[in-house]
Amino acid sequence: MTNRKGGLSKVFDYFCNEDPFAEGLSPCPGCPLELALRLLGKILGSQDLVMTGTPSCSNPVMTGQNVGAWHRLTAYCTLMTGAAANATGLSRQYRRSGQDATVVCFNGDGCAADIGFQALSGAAERGENFIYVCYDNEGYMNTGVQRSGTTPIGAKTATTPVGPKQRGKSTRRKNLPLLMAMHRIPYAATATLSHLEDFAKKLLKAKEKKNEGLAYIHLFAPCPTGWGVPTHQAIEVCRNAVRTNYFPLWEAEKGIFTLTHQVKKPKPIMEYTRLIKKYNHLKEDELERIQEEVDYEYEFLRHLTEFRKCVATKHQTAGE
Amino acid sequence: MNAHARLLGCGKKGMLNMEGTEFNKTKIKVITGNSAAAHGAMLCRPEVLALYPITPQTEVVEEISGFYASGELDAEVVEVEGENSAMNIITAASAAGARAFTATSSYGLVYMYDALLQAAGYRVPIVMVNVNRETPGITAVSSGQQDMISTRDSGWIQIITSSCQEILDSIIMAYRLAEDFDIQVPVMVNYDGFYLSYLAEKVEVPCRADVDGFLAPLKDQPQRPILKPGEPMGFGTHGILEGYLELRYKHSTALERAKVKFDEIDKAFERHFGRSYGGQIDTYRTADADMVLVASGSLSGTAQKVIDLKRDQGLKIGLIRLRMFRPFPRERLIETLRGKKAIGVIDRSICFGWNSGPIYVELRALSPEIGYIPMMSFIDGIANMDVSVANIERMVRILQSASEGDSYQKVTWIGMEEE
Amino acid sequence: MIKKFQFREEAGWSHADEILLCLDTGSWRVERPVLNKEKCNYCGLCALFCPTQCMVDRDDHFEPNLAFCKGCGICANECPRKAFRMRKEGDA
């Protein structure tokens, strides 16, 4: 596998395939979505890959213009409502006709958590054989930064502005990766772009696990433009999201949870929010509220990872 | 019967289906319209099906599930979580090369509207059964064509059937039409909910080999483009300016070609199975008629009976049964209607904004070609209300008086108005 | 007279082997990364995190392909040895 030279990071070993995308693509400077797409191609290779995408920030990259294309991958442009259903149709036909295919549904959080959630949940329940990657930038970025179901509490967006009567989003985010894991699909995981080896491993595991049913990866991908993050700090934001336990890295196989990256001394949420302008308005008590949210979600998750000891029955250890 | 196909396809002895009956024989069954639809779909060997129940279509998905469970249908059957996904699944499966099928009705049809438009624009040759039912807005579990009408500009080919046999046969013809290399447009086969969906009639169920034989010419055609893993092809590209216009132009002209193609397929079907429905339109005693009723769907049988009654009374009246609503059979309608003295159009739906029936509005657009002929819209059969012999006789009386030069009311809401 | 068709198919199919689209993203840049080779230990993190994946491997260091580098500065920020410095376009 490796033809890595000298002191190069071993992470390079995971990116052994050619970048299938054109060199100049449309995402804003510093956009982790662009990095995610290029790395996804390098990790999975284009041999049997079929990518699907919806109208979104990824669409001008995934979907061509007239007869021209931005990449050398096989691609299908879906609707937001039926993204997972389109992927179902493709993977079913490939399965039936005996063609090796890795169908990857690559969608934003608006599609995954909101308008396309029904189709995603249905595909999970039916055990469809594809990978669903949700790149979560916590809102509708392509339409100009509106709130979505994964926009966190307190965040300022174009539809949750800050004023005398509103202080950003007033409700908490939908924990979509947890919801997906609760379908007890073969594989559900979180990943982000500061932890590339973790991301690559999970993607490869998803490729393997998708033969048993739906594999879901929730990829935390900040939007520098929409969040008010200097372009050079996009990866740092990812890292601090992990270090503060705002976005813990974990995986769940058929409902058995494991933390893939333990944060020994989690930093206060301020270390994360201070990098992002969408939180600029927050006062101390509001930050405390966010910290409580983070603590609750992390504790919940930690309990789930311990839960495995209670259910290590014959059925579960045998992989059901 | 095509003798060649019979020899090729039905020559094998001893092939049994799960019921233990012979595989290679046409069977006479008494089945409902829904069952006929399920049989028709199964016989075409669809490879990917998405099934979601809705009254009055439910029996279709139940029967297909039964065919799958018994082994008669070898396919990927997706018990999907909603109609929107159903349409998305079969669209993508078709793009990946599958013959695909789904069935819906009313609320389900409008719930898949974005996917319906996508399927048409993507030019995937899928076939869907739509069991006509009134649409949301006034809660109703009853028959009516408003659902089909509300999707008329979606770019689909829309066929309306009027008997259980015709439902089965039309699905087979629909695959020939949709998958024809010159067409590549999805086809919606419609039939009246409640009236036809639950009505049991004698139906000749062809043997699978005969259906294979009828669909075989599709294999001799050029291969339509298919999305294959690892090939650098993108499907659903942005249409930019002239690129978008070109795809629209191609779609529209494909629909124009579908009209004559459907007539040809009907003739081929007759040669193969011995049954014909007239293609785009089915005409009954129109040649020497002064007055013509235009109808569609299950009420056509009643209308035909009234035509006979009135003919016996010396009235020169005929019936056009509209079988194809999209594309609209302009040429054949013009040919049939030119020189008539009065035209009455029965609609089971409303054209809002025109306060008349939608098929009536479309026929009025033929006036430059057929000349000024008194034309009347009859709205009837809404929400399961029976389009009775008496109702149609009443329409004929209005039609007759108009044909004699009397003044007439353009739109009559039968059932709303005192006679 | 109908114009010559762009698409060979009936529907919207794109073909990367015929036309691979590409934007001149290098022209977006307001700052460029400049490497101090002495500080670089060739770990490659700059190349890994570069969203445009435009870092060219020069065997003992990486160099951004300025035709496509958008100047986001992630390479400079992520470099553990701070070997890259962002310099305004136009400055010497």
Report all structural domains of chain A as residue ranges with CATH numbers, in order of start: 22-311 (3.40.50.970)
Q: Tell me the average pLDDT of chain B.
A: 94
Contact B272, B213 (CB under 8 A): yes
- With 70 as the cut, is the pLDDT of residue B240 above it? yes
Q: What is the DSSP string of C15-65?
A: ETTT-B----GGGG-SEEEEE-TTT-----HHHHH-TT--EEE-SSSEEE-
- Find the CB nearest B96 among A63, A94, A121: A94
This prediction has a pTM of 0.94
Chain A CA closest to residue B229: A48
pLDDT at A57: 92
Give the angle A293-A225-B236 at the CA atoms, nearest 5°. 100
Contacts of residue B321, Cβ cutoff 8 Å, sequence gap at least 6: B162, B278, B281, B282, B283, B284, B295, B296, B300, B303
Our CA dihedral for B395, B396, B398, B404, rounded to 10 degrees, sits at: 160
Q: How confident is the model at residue A143 (pLDDT cuts 50, 70, 90)?
A: very high
Instruction: Please judge whether B232 and C17 are an interchain contact, meaning their C-beta atoms are less than 8 angstroms apart.
Output: yes
Percent of chain B topping pLDDT 70: 95
Residue of C72, C78, C79, C82 for testing the chain A interface, max A β-carbons within 10 Å: C72
Please give the helix or strand (H or E) that residue B78 lies within, else none.
strand B76-79
pLDDT at B2: 36
If you average pLDDT over residues B325-352, what whole number do you get?
Answer: 98
ipTM for this prediction: 0.96
Give pLDDT, residue B4. Answer: 37
Q: Strand B324-326 relative to strand B157-160: parallel, antiparallel, unpaired?
A: antiparallel
- pLDDT value of position B15: 42
Q: Do C9 and B225 touch (CB under 8 A)?
A: yes
Confidence band for A311, pLDDT divided at 50, 70 and 90? confident
A97 vs B contacts (CB less than 8 Å)? 47, 96-98
Q: Where does CATH 3.40.50.970 sit in chain B? A: 3-273
Q: Which amino acid is at B195?
A: Y
Q: What residues of B are in contact with residue C7 (Cβ under 8 Å)?
A: 243, 246-247, 250
Which overall architecture, per CATH, does domain B283-413 show?
3-Layer(aba) Sandwich (3.40)
Q: Which helix (H) or strand (E) holds B119?
A: helix B113-121
Calpha distance A42→A61 (Å, rounded):
16
Is the pLDDT reported for residue B23 higher than 90? no
Q: Is the CB of C78 less than 8 angstroms away from the CB of A235? A: yes
The torsion angles phi and psi of A146, rounded to 5 degrees, stand at -105, 160
Q: Is the confidence at residue A318, as pLDDT, over 80?
A: no
Burial A92-109 (b: 16+ CB within 10 A, else e): bbbbbeebebbbbbbbbb
CB-closest option in A11, A69, A234 to C20: A69
Contact call for residues B380 and B359 (beta carbons, < 8 A): no
Q: What percentage of chain B carries pLDDT values higher than 90? A: 94
List the one residue out of B344, B358, B356, B357 whose CA is nearest residue B403: B344
Per-residue pLDDT at A285 exceeds 70 = yes
Q: In whole angstroms, what is the distance from residue B261 CA to residue C8 CA?
A: 22
pLDDT at A315 over 90: no
Q: Which of B85, B231, B238 lies nearest to residue A64, judging by beta carbons?
A: B238
List every span in chain B annotated with CATH 3.40.50.920: 283-413
Q: How far apart are CA A8 and CA B181, in angstroms?
A: 54
Cβ–Cβ contacts within 10 Å for residue A257, how many?
Answer: 19
Residues 289-308 of A with CB under 8 A from C: none
pLDDT confidence tier of residue B16, bands split at 50, 70 and 90: very low
A8, A21, A23: which to substitute to probe chain C, counting the most C Cβ within 10 Å? A23
B250–C7: do the CB atoms touch at under 8 Å? yes
For A164, other C-beta atoms within 10 Å of its C-beta total: 5
pLDDT given for residue A316 in this prediction = 54
Fold (topology level) of B3-273: Rossmann fold (3.40.50)
Does B7 score more than 50 pLDDT? no
Q: What is the mean pLDDT of residues A303-307?
A: 92
- Whole-number pLDDT of residue A313: 59
pLDDT of amino acid A309? 72
Q: Angle at the Cα of B390 (from B389 to B391), degrees rounded to 5?
A: 90
B248 → chain C, closest CA residue: C11
CB contact under 8 A, A89 and B90: yes
Give the CB-side neighbour count of residue B380, counting CA atoms within 13 A.
29
Contact A191/A249 with Cβ under 8 angstroms?
A: yes
For residues A297-301, give the mean pLDDT: 97
User: Is the separation of the CB atoms in A283 and A234 below 8 Å?
Assistant: no
Q: Which of C6, C10, C15 sits opposite B233 (nearest CB)?
A: C15
Looking at the partner chain, which of B91, B114, B229 has a beta carbon nearest the beta carbon of A48?
Answer: B229
CATH topology of domain C25-88: Alpha-Beta Plaits (3.30.70)
Token digits of residue B35? 């069952």
- Can you tell me the distance from the alpha carbon of B35 to that of B198, in angstroms, rounded to the nearest whole number? 9
Q: Residue A120 is inside which H or E element, if any? A: helix A117-126
Q: Domain segments of chain C: what residues? A: 25-88
Judging contacts by C-beta atoms under 8 Å, the chain A residues touching residue C49 are: 35, 193, 196, 235
Q: Which residues of C touch B250 (CB under 8 A)?
A: 5, 7, 10
pLDDT digits (tens, 9 = 90+) for A47-97: 999 999 999 999 999 999 999 999 999 999 999 999 999 999 999 999 999
Residues B365-392 have pLDDT tens digits of 999 999 999 999 999 999 999 999 999 9
Smallest CA–CA distance, residue A247 to chain C, in Å, is: 19
Sorted by sequence, the CB contacts under 8 Å of residue B32 that are 6+ apart come out as B59, B164, B197, B198, B199, B200
Give the integer Cα–Cα distance in Å for A127 and B46.
21
Contact A23 C17 (CB under 8 A): no
Q: In Å, how far are C44, C58, C82 from C62, measured between CA atoms?
A: 7, 6, 13
pLDDT at B194 over 70: yes
Can you give the pLDDT at residue B24? 73
Is the Cβ pair B88, A85 closer than 8 Å?
A: yes
pLDDT single digits (tens) C11-69 = 999 999 999 999 999 999 999 999 999 999 999 999 999 999 999 999 999 999 999 99
> Smallest Cβ distance to C22: which of A15, A22, A32?
A22
